[in-house]
A and B are shown apart, each in its own frame.
Chain A
Amino acid sequence: MEAIQIKGVTKRYKDVLALDNVSLTFEFGKIYGFLGRNGAGKSTLINIIANRVFADGGEVLIDGIPANENMAVHDKIFCMSEADLYDRDLKVIEHYKWTKRFYSDFDMNKALALSEKYDLDVNKRFRALSKGYQSIFKLIIALSLTVPYVIFDEPVLGLDANHRELFYSLLLKEFEEGERTFIIATHLIEELSNIIEEVVLIDKGKVVLQESVENLLEKGYSISGSAAEVENYCAGRNVIGIEELGGLKIAYIMGEKTALPKDSSLQISAMNLQKLFVKITEKGGEENE
């Protein structure tokens, strides 16, 4: 199977259960948004997939091959992490050369072309780069590797709006040119909502939701009107959040929309991905179908 399969992965740090029997699949050829609040377990899972941390239980398969300490998966996956694991005294160009040694799939020409596009001076040492340019440097390495699975952990951290736009358009271009899987962990949900195809939402160490963005946006909506009417409408529905403004009540709902009763004063509005995320994780990640 062409996919990253995570089967029953559990990870405990002392008395904190970071991942609680997590099972999910990232299929080949899609762009995923990997969402979760701070401390939800995102980075732990990414580090387990990337073999930087070991799980206490369960396993990760990449294209059917067990990932744990297995060199065979080395050519399949790359992870751009939030933490800086690079030697701060080495020049950018030297980092590229080392990457080339470790990854035969590293495209040096592409890395140099991207550096120029982003105005990254390859003769600077890593330590001399600003926070934004350190992110850009890491992105360039990730985008210059033609491995089938690339994971980005907070890729746009510290990037200004122009560079974020540039990153998103490069990402899409790369995706068009060679089919692969991008998994993007981020807090900037709205910026990504048209780019990602599927969302995986993790909360308190558990996967609470995995669904296509299109379905999610179709299922999530808000309804507003007088308190009594809204309460009436909400009966028997999956309400994930409520807001009140004087006599006005707004309910956030997941599920199928049904036509409003005739001459009802209620109003249905769309809910964007960020709002949906906030409401689901606020409630504590309960999901009922």
Chain B
Amino acid sequence: MNVNSNIEKPIFIQIAEQLEDKIFTGVFPEETQVPSTNEISALLSVNPHTVLKGMNILVDEEIIYKKRGLGMFVAEGAVEKIRRKRQSRFYEQYIAALLEEATKLQMSKEDVISLIERGYRNGSHSD
């Protein structure tokens, strides 16, 4: 994990996103403990209040939860929850940006579609 204060995204959101990504990729499996505010604060040299604010985003989304006296744990079903959230954002986050750039470059709809198809052919990208 690391934070970058030169980009526009607030630090607490960067922390929430990275933690979320670690949960999604299985670094912190469901029903296991995630690092404490102190640990993350010390690791990243970030004010603990900022870290807590980031973690609270994930608490609100029910991706992590607090076990009294023990710390924060990954909720059951968190991975699926994150997957659905990301799928629902896929259009605005990727497709909209892709089309905007394609329009700027005066690429046709067919050009774009054929490039996407090429991507599927070339890689490990399966349907």
Contact = CB atoms under 8 A, between A and B. Distances in A.
Interface of A: 30-31, 165, 168-169, 172-173, 175-176, 190, 193-197, 214, 217-218, 221, 268-270, 272-273
A261 to B, nearest CB: 14
A195 B11 CA distance: 11
Contacts of A268: 8
B5 A169 contact: no
A176 B38 contact: yes
Contact of A195 (B8, B10, B37, B46): B46
B112 to A, nearest CB: 19
A166 B5 CA distance: 20
List 9 A-B pairs, minimum CB-CB distance, nearest first: A270-B8, A194-B46, A176-B38, A168-B45, A172-B41, A169-B42, A197-B47, A193-B5, A195-B47
Contacts of A217: 5, 10
Contact of B47 (A31, A165, A173, A190): A31
Interface residues of B, number: 19
20 contacts: A165-B45, A169-B45, A172-B48, A173-B42, A175-B48, A176-B37, A176-B38, A176-B48, A194-B5, A194-B44, A194-B47, A194-B50, A195-B45, A196-B47, A197-B47, A214-B11, A217-B5, A221-B8, A272-B6, A273-B5
Contact of A194 (B7, B8, B42, B45): B45
Nearest to A192: B45
A31 B42 CA distance: 15
A117 to B, nearest CB: 14
B65 interface: no
Contacts of B7: 270
Contacts of B45: 165, 168-169, 172, 194-195
A269 B6 CA distance: 9
B57 interface: no
B59 interface: no
A181 to B, nearest CB: 13
Given A31-B47, A194-B45, A214-B12, A173 B5 contact: no
B83 interface: no
A118 to B, nearest CB: 16
A197 B48 CA distance: 9
A31 B47 CA distance: 8
B42 A172 contact: yes
Contacts of B3: 194
A78 B47 CA distance: 21
Contacts of A30: 49
Given A194-B46, A194-B47, A218 B10 contact: yes
Contacts of B42: 169, 172-173
B41 A197 contact: no
Nearest to A191: B45
B5 A269 contact: no
Contacts of B46: 172, 194-195
Contacts of A190: 5
Nearest to A221: B8
A166 B6 CA distance: 23
A190 B38 CA distance: 21
Given A168-B45, A172-B45, A218-B10, A197 B5 contact: no
Interface string B60-76: 00000000000000000
A197 B49 CA distance: 8
A169 B3 CA distance: 15
B45 to A, nearest CB: 5
